[in-house]
A and B are shown apart, each in its own frame.
Chain A
């Protein structure tokens, strides 16, 4: 009976509303037919509830599930991954809601809905999404309250108010778990990426290629050092070296493979192991500059690019030895250097002219490079969202927009140097990395993709010059995320001008977003450690964090529980009522139990008919109770109540 009354139209409507809310942000990303299936299942369910129809039989549900699952397999071509996982979860949620028969069944869609709320954060982590998901969870809790009511239908207020209180009561525990649960170095929302959207460096670089990576939290590789970890500014992870300019893009120079170059280490060797995530490309990454190939399957190109013989399709670990200080390529011939002086003379005439003029003004290559870097330092701005560039990208960037990302700097820098007859090339790879204090590994993410340049001087050989460093030294010293943290905020701040009130609002909103990114989205391992050390904790590692977490969970639970207990005590029954209930419990031993709706007089009379002696003994107690509770002096002198309580305590049913 009760189970059937739980699946009322109102309860179903609430559940469907919660589902619609939580699926809505996904709907645009899903294939249209998945959205269609969801809408159809929801409508069908509502129809069933509205007209008290039967749910579809099990074989039909099974058939639908099979067809839809097969459709998802065909659509996505795989069973695992973020997109297909979310799609399957949504489909299963809708089908489960459709086949609910009793109250117990309704629990599953609700808890799936809670989980689905989380999946939205895999796509967006803004404040608005956070608030929206809070609303979703609120609706689901309200639906849950409706399903758990017996007999009567819950009103809007009876759903939303207790649900809100439940969520509010959960906030202390949420904060404790949020701040104290040991963070992994990975992004909180990282998921196995789909192949089609796999990120990584390619064999060419055009404006926009690397800044596209800058938003990806995917791990590129992890490094375990045998000794101490070098300074962040030394962590240049060498990847593809791009020596050939081809229109807008820089590409790998195919001839470089043959050249052998002398390598003179000038510092202590650094041993480490790289665990590379599969990226479907043959190149490997090593600290600038690797000295020896780890095994037979790895070889060096002439420009110290390290390559595997086959594309890396599985997780690959390899040991490398590098030297941070080195001398390489001092004895190169003019012929060998020729490839590093070529450029596409059809494009970027202004930059080329500028390079030539620079050479005339500065005969010494080192002075020339320094003056060029000085120009970058003075006039340029580092941004993740550079303006779009046209047919002559270097010209437009270097002379007009002056805003760019590392690939703009490296590309224009190398082109101008080549125009000035100085051999130079673009090196792509990663810069920096983040230490995971639990594993002591250095984690390098796609967001840390970088491009810099190498310049050849007759006496020094190839020297690494990073024009980005000239523009934004912070980028190199502190790493990507700390410089930019909330990606794009800086730009928003710059753009929000001359708008008066709107400007104020924009600033406030940006400030809020900054805090949100700092404390919620970007609350990384490091931030967590800083925060906890700021609270006075020393030597924060995951063990102490776990201990603190347990302590805090229990103490928060204790405090909240205590608060609720005190509230319960305050609304506790009056002593007189409690004593009367004890009396009734004692009298119930006679086999005559007081019904909850039975008044004292009726109960006594019923008792008297069956157990006249006991009733006679109890009569004075009943009289006192009635007098204290219902007569004129009800709630009167408390000593009467105490006296009554004592008499009830002494009362015995023999």
Chain B
């Protein structure tokens, strides 16, 4: 058994390619890029939360372009209507019938920009699409293209003019990541460097759709041992028993945690999931699903870290 865990594993080439090329455009955010990629490989939707101007949109743009996916951007505003997302039927005079004009959602990657600026009605138009990979308009259900991702960005909810996403919708995002400000060196390179928009325009595909789909299949084949399931269960149980969280993790959250960990293990070049994988993805996976109890004295700043520290690995 010569699995050397402790040396860098040769990672699947196109994947490394995607990561390094994205890193060239989005400077100093390698970990966030990797996490976003991890989310995509796990076939999950991604929510990027941060203040305006740190590169949320750029990141989603870059990923879609590198993966060679068909890409649509929906700018969510407070007057956005569901039809603006899904599409609308318009009367065609020549054929004397209604013809459905597909909305921007019929696309492989949706960038739902500033999702929490839209009214709940428009937000919910995304719901069905995200969960079922299909939309229903005029009583007709239509399949969305495969692969299908939603990368949504949102402003922190304390900003003006936001409708916080309901729990049900938050739960549909596999991960929520934060970008944060770039460090000093990265920011300097950004200021001195080329315009990012032009760089994005020049991006060529680094991974084919077939390669992406096969990687996504590989993720599900990453081995999960009983011991690891025990650990994931212990984590979930802790959130349900603990007095620090208002509500425990849902079964869907458990599945998400395991799937994301598998994806991370694949990206780390391993065939099996380790507790470390779970711990690595946990902040992104459970951070938006856990609401810490705020009773004045004990306010948890980072619920995911709190959770990881509280649960021993069995």
**Which residues of A approach B to under 8 Å, CB–CB?**
5, 151-153, 577, 595-602, 604-605, 608, 619, 622-624, 626-627, 629-632, 634-635
Alpha-carbon distance A629/B273, docked complex (angstroms): 10
Measured between beta carbons, the chain B residues less than 8 angstroms from A599 are: 274-276, 279, 313
**Which residues of B approach A to under 8 Å, CB–CB?**
1, 3-6, 223, 225-228, 241-244, 271-276, 279, 308-314
Measured between beta carbons, the chain A residues less than 8 angstroms from B311 are: 597
Alpha-carbon distance A622/B4, docked complex (angstroms): 10
Q: State whether A629 and B5 are in contact (beta carbons under 8 Å apart), knowing that A596-B313, A601-B274 are contacts in the complex.
A: no
Q: State whether A634 and B227 are in contact (beta carbons under 8 Å apart), knowing that A152-B242, A626-B5 are contacts in the complex.
A: yes
Q: State whether A629 and B3 are in contact (beta carbons under 8 Å apart), knowing that A152-B242, A152-B243 are contacts in the complex.
A: no
Alpha-carbon distance A573/B273, docked complex (angstroms): 21
Contact B272 A632 (CB under 8 A): yes
Main secondary structure of the interface of A (DSSP, over half): helix
Taking the closest CB of chain A, its distance from the CB of B272, in whole angstroms, is: 4
Measured between beta carbons, the chain B residues less than 8 angstroms from A600 are: 274-276
Contact A631 B6 (CB under 8 A): no
A-B contacts, 8 listed (Cβ < 8 Å) = A152-B241, A601-B6, A623-B5, A627-B3, A630-B225, A630-B272, A631-B3, A634-B226
Alpha-carbon distance A598/B241, docked complex (angstroms): 21
Q: Which of B241, B271, B274, B310 contacts A597 (CB 8 A)?
A: B310
Measured between beta carbons, the chain A residues less than 8 angstroms from B223 are: 630-632
- The residue on A at minimum CB distance from B242 is A152
What 5 A-B pairs are tightest by C-beta distance, nearest first? A596-B312, A599-B275, A634-B225, A599-B276, A631-B272
Q: State whether A602 and B225 are in contact (beta carbons under 8 Å apart), knowing that A152-B243, A596-B312, A626-B5 are contacts in the complex.
A: no
Alpha-carbon distance A256/B241, docked complex (angstroms): 84
Measured between beta carbons, the chain A residues less than 8 angstroms from B5 are: 601, 622-623, 626
Alpha-carbon distance A623/B226, docked complex (angstroms): 18
Contact A629 B227 (CB under 8 A): yes
Measured between beta carbons, the chain B residues less than 8 angstroms from A623 are: 1, 3-6
Measured between beta carbons, the chain B residues less than 8 angstroms from A604 are: 6
- Chain A CB within 10 Å — which of B5, B242, B273 has the most? B5
Measured between beta carbons, the chain A residues less than 8 angstroms from B310 are: 597
Alpha-carbon distance A81/B308, docked complex (angstroms): 59
- The residue on B at minimum CB distance from A615 is B6
Taking the closest CB of chain A, its distance from the CB of B179, in whole angstroms, is: 25
Measured between beta carbons, the chain A residues less than 8 angstroms from B243 are: 5, 151-153
Measured between beta carbons, the chain A residues less than 8 angstroms from B227 are: 629-630, 634
Measured between beta carbons, the chain B residues less than 8 angstroms from A627 are: 1, 3
- Chain B CB within 10 Å — which of A597, A604, A629 has the most? A597
Q: State whether A624 and B6 are in contact (beta carbons under 8 Å apart), knowing that A596-B313, A631-B271, A634-B225 are contacts in the complex.
A: no
- Chain A CB within 10 Å — which of B223, B227, B271, B312 has the most? B227
Alpha-carbon distance A629/B3, docked complex (angstroms): 14
Contact A630 B1 (CB under 8 A): no
- The residue on A at minimum CB distance from B231 is A599
Measured between beta carbons, the chain B residues less than 8 angstroms from A152 are: 241-243
Q: State whether A630 and B312 are in contact (beta carbons under 8 Å apart), knowing that A151-B243, A152-B243 are contacts in the complex.
A: no
- The residue on B at minimum CB distance from A155 is B241
Taking the closest CB of chain A, its distance from the CB of B6, in whole angstroms, is: 6
Measured between beta carbons, the chain A residues less than 8 angstroms from B4 are: 623
- The residue on A at minimum CB distance from B2 is A623
Alpha-carbon distance A152/B314, docked complex (angstroms): 20
Taking the closest CB of chain B, its distance from the CB of A187, in whole angstroms, is: 48
Alpha-carbon distance A627/B242, docked complex (angstroms): 32
Contact A626 B309 (CB under 8 A): no
Contact B225 A629 (CB under 8 A): yes
